[in-house]
Structure 1
């Protein structure tokens, strides 16, 4: 079997660009999303396999990894690209929606990391890449749920990197500071001059996966040239 890449939270935009980049690099690609049918065309184009998974549900995640094990083999690379977003004044937040947001951004990342680690540790190699956001570095007004989830994700990545690097498992947190170019969503996503291009983001993920273990990156920030920081 060849190298296997599992992308959790696949979809149009960055998920599709990641899938294409790793397929072109010779990986057998598995794409996991919450809904069926949304990736059929992409899977046909690059020869990927699609799976249904709710990243915030531990049983669903374990079933996903078991299916990928059986179909392609244990993943050499796992990308956690799932995310959820809600915002609003603290006094008006819907707590059920907040709980769901935290489950995807934080809890789901931990569950996926655990399943990946259980396969990578015995092998003594592997790569885990996590899609973060500038909200994981600073909490913006009326964005408490997103900040909480992304801060949790960043803390998880730091802990994983320190635990797993000595076991030859590379963990990296990629901070996306800006919106991702998606012209069908309208402004500000449609402005190619001010948005992050998903193909260029995917190129960074690919380069991270190729790093020699003598010079690993554990966190990197990506932002358009016009983004203030």
Structure 2
């Protein structure tokens, strides 16, 4: 049977590149997001199934995986790409907006990973990949909520890797350290490569999923050659 991938928090950019690559590789693709209308063209292009999911709502996440049980069974690969930001000086931040941001970025990842892990443990295999950012290893000024969410995401991944790797569940955390190129991006000149190419990131994700378990990584940092660190 072909492998399956469930991309949660799907949209343009990295998620779209990953959906195309996985479909080309022969995998069944499922795209999940709060706004599914934006996924129509990508679903047609890749043959993906589309489901609505709000990662901040535990019932919505559970419903997604209950649906997947009948549609694709235990997914071979689950990718968490959802995140939410709240910007501003620490003294001015709205506590409700901060809670909403950290709930999506971190608690939402926990909800998705928990549902995925339950099924993968029963199946005896699987990969869960969490998309992090520079903010997961260094907090920037006026960006405390994003750092809180991404630091928590990294901690979740590290803990899961230590717990689940010995049970044949591969966990990966990706530090995306730099801007991701978009269509018709004006932030760089052609061939400059100072932004991350989403197709190149997707290649790394699929390679990570394919790693032999004798040499599993749990984390990888990706950055353009011109990015300082």
TM-score normalised according to structure 2 size: 0.96
1:119-173 C-alpha deviation (Å, 9 max, x unpaired): 0011111000110001100111111000000000000000000000010000010
Q: Which residue of 1 aligns with 2:20?
A: 20
| Structural mapping, 1:19-168, within 5 Å | 19-168=19-168
Asked if 1:228 is matched to 2:219, the reply is no
RMSD between superposed Cα atoms in Å: 1.6
Residue number in structure 2 paired with 1:209: 209
CA shift in 2, pair 1:188/1:131, >3 Å: farther
**SS of the residue 1:39 aligns to:** helix
The count of aligned residue pairs is: 229
Q: Which runs of 5+ in 1 are unaligned?
A: none
Equivalents in 2 of 1:217, 1:189: separation in Å? 33
After TM superposition, give the deviation of residue 32 of structure 1 in Å: 0.4
How far off its partner does 1:183 sit?
A: 3.5
Distance (Å, rounded) in 1 between the aligned partners of 2:9 and 2:191: 24
State the 4+ residue runs in structure 1 displaced beyond 4 angstroms.
188-192
* Distance in structure 2 (CA, Å) of the matches to 1:220 and 1:151: 15
Indicate if the aligned counterparts of 1:131 and 1:173 stay in contact, CA closer than 8 A: yes
For structure 2, the 5+ residue unaligned runs are none
Counterpart position of 2:196: 196
Query: For the structure 1 residues 107 and 185, does the alpha-carbon distance in structure 2 shift closer, same or farther, using more than 3 Å as the test?
Result: farther
**SS of the counterpart of 2:171?**
strand
Structure 1 stretch displaced more, 187-196 or 110-119: 187-196
